[in-house]
């Protein structure tokens, strides 16, 4: 499965790095604590969060994540979008709450373990 596949299935808007949608999705992770994501998220996972600041992009890049889904209608900050474009980190946004996003991804076969 790729990032493009989950965009087809879920109501997600591409906010940054639209050229990187062929990245593989091998798992999912939900957390709003960056330190926790740095410690535990596996590479090639999609990360669901409510945080929209630029350090989210740094952490996603560091952890080699395939995409960040900013859920619950939260809006990414302008400098975060700029940094994501520069670093090729896919930022997606949705009005769906985080629980619902995770549930729908699970339904597609994405797992958290």
Partner 1 sequence: MIRCFVADLHVHSVLSPCAAVEMTPRNIVWHAAEHGVDIIAVTDHNAGDNVRAVLEAAKGTPVTVLPGMEVETKEEIHVVALFDKMRSFQEWEKVVEDHRSGRLNDADKFGAQFVVDAEDNLVRVKEEMLLAALTLGLEELCDRVEALGGLCIASHVDRPAYSILYKLGFIPSGLKLAAAEISPLIKKEDALRRFPALAKIPIVASSDAHTMDDFIGGPKTCFHMEQATLPEIRQALYSENRREVVL
Pairing verdict, β 67-70 and 91-93: parallel
Q: Would you count residue 52 as binding partner 1 (CB under 8 A)?
A: yes
Q: Which stretch, 7-15, 19-27, 51-59, 64-72, contacts partner 1 (CB under 8 A)? A: 51-59
The DSSP H or E segment spanning 93 is: strand 91-93
Q: Would you count residue 61 as binding partner 1 (CB under 8 A)?
A: yes
Q: Describe the strand order of the beta sheet including 45-49 as a list of residue ranges.
A: 13-16, 91-93, 67-70, 45-49, 27-30
Q: Would you count residue 91 as binding partner 1 (CB under 8 A)?
A: no
- Which member of 58, 85, 97, 108 binds partner 1 (CB under 8 A)? 58
Grouping H, G, I as helix, E, B as strand and the rest as coil, residue 15 is strand
Q: Which stretch, 3-11, 18-26, 45-53, 91-99, contacts partner 1 (CB under 8 A)? A: 45-53
Per the CB < 8 A criterion, the answer to whether 64 and 44 are in contact is: yes
- Which member of 9, 18, 33, 43 binds partner 1 (CB under 8 A)? 33
DSSP code of residue 42: P
Q: Would you state the torsion angle of the CA atoms of residues 87, 5, 103, 79, taken in this order, to the nearest 10 degrees?
A: 20
Nearest-approach distance from CB 8 to partner 1, in angstroms: 30
**Footprint of partner 1 (CB under 8 A):** 33-35, 38-39, 51-53, 55, 58, 61-62, 74, 77, 87
């Amino acid at each position: 499965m790729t990032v493009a596949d989950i965009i087809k299935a879920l109501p997600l808007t591409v906010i940054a790095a639209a050229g990187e949608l062929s990245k593989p999705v091998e798992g999912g992770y939900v957390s709003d604590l960056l330190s926790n994501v740095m410690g535990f998220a596996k590479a090639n996972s999609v990360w669901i969060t409510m945080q929209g600041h630029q350090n989210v992009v740094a952490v996603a890049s560091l952890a080699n994540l395939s995409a960040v889904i900013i859920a619950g209608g939260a809006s990414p900050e302008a400098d975060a979008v700029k940094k994501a474009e520069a670093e090729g980190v896919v930022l997606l946004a949705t009005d769906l709450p985080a629980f619902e996003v995770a549930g729908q991804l699970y339904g597609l076969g994405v797992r958290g373990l």
